[in-house]
Amino acid sequence: DIQMTQSPSSLSASVGDRVTITCRASQSISSYLNWYQQKPGKAPKLLIYTASSLQSGVPSRFSGSGSGTDFTLTISSLQPEDFATYYCQQSYSTLGLTFGGGTKVEIK
């Protein structure tokens, strides 16, 4: 299976901060990378698909970039509702999909 490594595993930030989360794949996955946001007790929510495409209804302060093995999720100006855990997911391997370990974004 393709391993997905996220960093950091947690971070503290303030409202209005620019936040960057990194995801690295164990092999090249082209642009087959998705990002999700999950709040406690809730199902994940799709934010970004194929590395940089914004899912319908998701605020434009969220953006994604990267290709190959290195990817980034950026929140341009952190809002109170953005405190959550974020997961990357590779969709390159049609037979085995894998998620990163998650990044918890907490209030500073």
Partner 1 sequence: QVQLVQSGAEVKKPGASVKVSCKASGYTVTGYYMHWVRQAPGQGLEWMGWINPNNGGTNYAQKFQDRVTMTRDTSISTAYMELSRLKSDDTAVYYCARESAGPRAFDIWGQGTMVTVSS
- Mapped onto helix, strand or coil, the DSSP state of residue 80 is helix
Stretch that binds partner 1, among 11-19, 62-70, 73-81, 94-102 (CB under 8 A): 94-102
Rounded Cα gap, residues 35 and 45, in angstroms: 9
The candidate with the shortest Cα–Cα distance to 71, out of 13, 29, 105, is 29
Q: How many residues bind partner 1 (CB under 8 A)?
A: 25
Closer CB to partner 1, 69 or 93, in the complex? 93
Residue 55 binds to partner 1 (criterion: CB under 8 A): yes
Q: Identify the residue whose tokens are 């999700």.
A: 36
Residue 71 binds to partner 1 (criterion: CB under 8 A): no
The candidate with the shortest Cα–Cα distance to 50, out of 25, 29, 21, is 29
> Can you give the binding site for partner 1, defined by CB under 8 A?
1, 32, 34, 36, 38, 43-46, 49-50, 53, 55, 87, 89, 91, 94-102
